[in-house]
A and B are shown apart, each in its own frame.
Chain A
Amino acid sequence: QKEVEQDPGPLSVPEGAIVSLNCTYSNSAFQYFMWYRQYSRKGPELLMYTYSSGNKEDGRFTAQVDKSSKYISLFIRDSQPSDSATYLCAMRRGNAGNMLTFGGGTRLMVKP
């Protein structure tokens, strides 16, 4: 079993919809949680970064971490066709530099 699990999708939504992307993990040592966006044949781009449990909002994006359930989420409000990409969750232990453990990614398609 992988340390970080993520539904591969694809997830197809109409423009303007609220999107929910999720990851579960098994290693309770993970303390830092990130979401990356990756367009086809490009490198991952950092979207959101949270430490421990709680919520963090940045524009149309909200990241949630529930350490008790080992479950993290990314919500995208008012989704746009330009949001169509693969979304990768990533996490690391507190003393692990930036050695990240990634989920497999969820492919999102936002239809105009």
Chain B
Amino acid sequence: DTGVSQNPRHKITKRGQNVTFRCDPISEHNRLYWYRQTLGQGPEFLTYFQNEAQLEKSRLLSDRFSAERPKGSFSTLEIQRTEQGDSAMYLCASSPSVGDAFFGQGTRLTVV
């Protein structure tokens, strides 16, 4: 499968725990994006990488959230001290320098 891959697909965690999600973009894509989607809403932009550089972060990305793309390939999104309000679908997308963004299937986080 040459699409955007996200792992895990589902994560249930207790409030206060840390969680980390992984995204493997389409191999030739140098741009990578994280979005968050809550039930009944459209995705909301969180952050954007071009290669390994994090170029933009939304104000939605509180200091409990951190994203990395260490070698310009896969990316991780970590949420520290999770809260119930963090429950959502976390979507990763990738694109080439010029062209459309393709989304992964998402990681669904439930904080109990």
> A45 an interface residue at 8 Å Cβ cutoff?
yes
Residues in B with CB closer than 8 Å to A101 are 45
Query: Of the candidates B41, B48, B91, which one forms a contact with A44 in the assembled complex, judged by CB atoms under 8 Å apart?
Result: B91
* Residues of B in contact, count (CB < 8 Å): 25
Instruction: Give a binary string over B85-110; 1 marks a CB under 8 Å from any A CB, 0 the rest.
Output: 00000010101000011111110100
Stretch in A11-19, A77-85, A102-110 with 4+ CB within 8 Å of B: A102-110
Question: Once bound together, how far apart are the Cα atoms of A90 and B108, in whole Å?
Answer: 21
Residues in B with CB closer than 8 Å to A45 are 103
Ordered by A's residue number, 20 sampled pairs between the chains whose C-beta atoms are within 8 Å are: A6-B42, A8-B40, A34-B100, A41-B108, A43-B4, A43-B104, A43-B105, A44-B103, A45-B103, A46-B100, A46-B101, A46-B102, A49-B100, A97-B55, A97-B56, A98-B93, A98-B95, A99-B45, A100-B45, A103-B42
User: Which A positions have Cβ atoms within 8 angstroms of B?
Assistant: 4, 6, 8, 34, 36, 41-46, 49, 88, 90, 97-105
Knowing that A49-B100, A102-B43 touch, tell me 4 more A-B residue pairs with CB under 8 angstroms: A43-B106, A97-B33, A100-B45, A102-B44
User: Which B positions have Cβ atoms within 8 angstroms of A?
Assistant: 4, 31, 33, 35, 40-45, 48, 50, 55-56, 91, 93, 95, 100-106, 108
